[in-house]
Amino acid sequence: MSTQPIALDAPLIELIDVTKSYGAGSASMQALRGVSLRINAGEFVAIMGASGSGKSTIMNIIGCLDTPSSGSYRFKGVAVELLDRNQRAQLRRFELGFVFQGFNLLSRTSALENVELPLIYRGLPHSERRALAQEALAKVGLDGWAGHTPSELSGGQQQRVAIARAIVTQPSVLLADEPTGNLDSARSVEVMEMITRFNQESGITVVMVTHEPDMAQFARRVIHFRDGIIASDVIQSGITS
């Protein structure tokens, strides 16, 4: 990914005085205003805030989908802002898993083939990726649904497929953007319990954006954004899990 040395004692994710602006001149809008943040390996962090607070921008930067206007983003000690586009793509491919509110599944493709997609990008042979995808579906409770397309699955099942796709590469970080936004209360709890289990049993670091306080209760740490800055950063003592 990069020739830069990795600092083994560094936090997994570190933002140092990060700003992000969009537009220019009178049309300029500052989404982040000097954010500094550390997330250690194995944490489960919920990021909350009103629309326009900066929570989605920070998620995009952590996910290497956007870059800071100034400041530094370090992943395992590597300065991500110094990486080129291909290197950032490599980081996403090998270190990050993504879960979205809208599931983002290919509609005419089976659950198994959807889960295989990240492994295709990695260049794994067919037999190996098929076995890994089957294993990931089993982990989310969909062992018997591999051949079904998204239209044949409920919303909760579709999100389980999306989670299987996110974890099939065994990423360091699971980035979940409103993962329960399209689900009812019961399915939301099921999805959150599953994400919590992966965090606790597999040690995967979870960074989740949510506007739902009930879902944030599953996280060990809750960060509130307001007007492009961190308004509060709290370790929760009585988490749901």
- Write out pLDDT tens, residues 136-147: 999 999 999 999
* pLDDT on residue 238: 60
Does a structural domain hold residue 144?
yes
Single pTM value for the model: 0.91
234, 222 in Cβ contact below 8 A? yes
Range of the domain at 184: 13-235
With a cut of 60, say whether residue 241 has pLDDT above it. no
Does a structural domain hold residue 240?
no
Does a structural domain hold residue 64?
yes
Does a structural domain hold residue 214?
yes
CA–CA distances in Å: residue 192 to residues 13, 90, 100, 101, 217: 22, 28, 13, 13, 10
Q: Which amino acid is at 116?
A: E
Does a structural domain hold residue 126?
yes
Which stretch of 8-17, 46-55, 148-157 has the lowest confidence by average pLDDT?
Answer: 8-17
Does a structural domain hold residue 4?
no
- The 3-state DSSP class for residue 151 equals helix
Does a structural domain hold residue 8?
no
Tens digits of residue pLDDT in 83-127: 999 999 999 999 999 999 888 999 999 999 999 999 998 889 999
Binning the chain into helix, strand and coil, the percentages to the nearest 5 are 35, 25, 35
CATH code for position 49? 3.40.50.300
For the chain, the domain total comes to: 1
With a cut of 90, say whether residue 193 has pLDDT above it. yes
d(C-alpha 16, C-alpha 161), whole Å: 35
Share of the chain above pLDDT 70, in %: 95
Does a structural domain hold residue 1?
no
Bridge partners of 189, per DSSP, are: none
- The 3-state DSSP class for residue 135 equals helix
Q: What is the mean pLDDT of residues 173-189?
A: 95
Residues found in the chain: 241
* pLDDT on residue 112: 97
210, 224 in Cβ contact below 8 A? no
User: Backbone phi, then psi, for 77, in 5-degree steps?
Assistant: 85, -5
- The 3-state DSSP class for residue 75 equals strand
* pLDDT on residue 1: 44
